[in-house]
Amino acid sequence: MTQPLASLRQSLACAYSAVPSETIALGAESLDRRLGGGILRAGLHEAYAETAADAPAATGFALALARRALAGAEKPLLWARPEALSAESGAPYPPGLADIGLDPAAVAFIRVRDAKEALQAGVEAGRCATVGATLIELFGEARAYDLTASRRLALAAATAGAPIFVARVGASPAPSAAASRWLVRAAPSRALAANAPGSAAFTIFLLRQRGGAAGQESHEWRVEWNRDRGAFEDRTFDASSLSGPVASLPVGGTPGEGASQRAGRKFG
């Protein structure tokens, strides 16, 4: 066992408790209605990035789910990430966590060597009643995350009654013990007053829900994260929120001439 995992085991005062059978409402009416109230609290949930560019969206979606899980509970979030991902995307950004509604001081971030250690950290933390939620990030197909590993995580979540979220990048959705599985794509946000940055928006697909109605396993929503309510909201995309055509720079001539000529050809 490496030093980060050993320290984690020593620092967690595990006290196992009975598992309440309850759900976590996400806040968006149509979403919660489809889920039958929300996602299982004592369960494992997966968020797959549709493409590599959607990796921040998948992690952000999982963090927002964790924020919902932690509402009203004075418990920390344990966030485990392999070193390779940290080298690629850096450390968590405290103002960004606060913008989601998470207290940066209540987020225990652990950087581990690889996917195997990330999963071990998740099991250690996930089955501990003193941890309110756990987030594990994995990159690539991550062979260590097989059906057996996912079952261990699901059992750990059920033991302590706290959810475990696995955010995956560069991997195809595969069978696992997850109670719910999501495919996440970044969506354009709507600017606020004075052209301030808008709320985070997501296009999400429910790929699997354990116990979901037969024939209705896949569904898509467009939602926005309301930072004030700490909840998702249904979102209808309008034309103004969509990306418009981008004029490319001309090869030769002045930028103004090139742009006006192309605009004339396109709209004239």
For residue 225, pLDDT over 90 is answered with yes
Which of 2-16, 158-172, 224-238 shows the lowest per-residue confidence on average (mean pLDDT)?
2-16
CA distances from 68 to 31, 62, 231, 239, 253 (A): 14, 10, 7, 30, 54
Q: Which residues contact 90 (CB under 8 A, 6 or more apart)?
A: none
Counting beta carbons within 10 angstroms of the beta carbon of residue 106, is it exposed (0 to 12), middle (13 to 18) or buried (19 or more)? middle
**What pLDDT was estimated at residue 72?**
86
Domains: count for the chain: 1
Q: Which helix (H) or strand (E) holds 5?
A: helix 3-11
For residue 222, pLDDT over 90 is answered with yes
Is residue 29 situated within a structural domain? no
pLDDT over 70, % of the chain: 78
CA distances from 79 to 5, 119, 152, 234 (A): 13, 11, 17, 27
Is residue 184 situated within a structural domain? yes
- DSSP state for residue 11 in the 8-state scheme: H
| Residue 13 token pair | 């005062």
For 12-35, what is the mean pLDDT? 76
Q: What CATH number is associated with residue 202?
A: 3.40.50.300
Residue 247 gets the label, from left (phi > 0), alpha (psi -120 to 50) or beta, of beta
- Across-strand partners of 202? 186, 223
For residue 253, pLDDT over 50 is answered with no
pLDDT digits (tens, 9 = 90+) for 88-141: 888 899 999 999 999 999 999 999 999 999 999 999 987 788 899 999 999 999
3 vs 221 pLDDT, higher one = 221
Is residue 196 situated within a structural domain? yes
Structural domain span for residue 193: 41-210+217-229
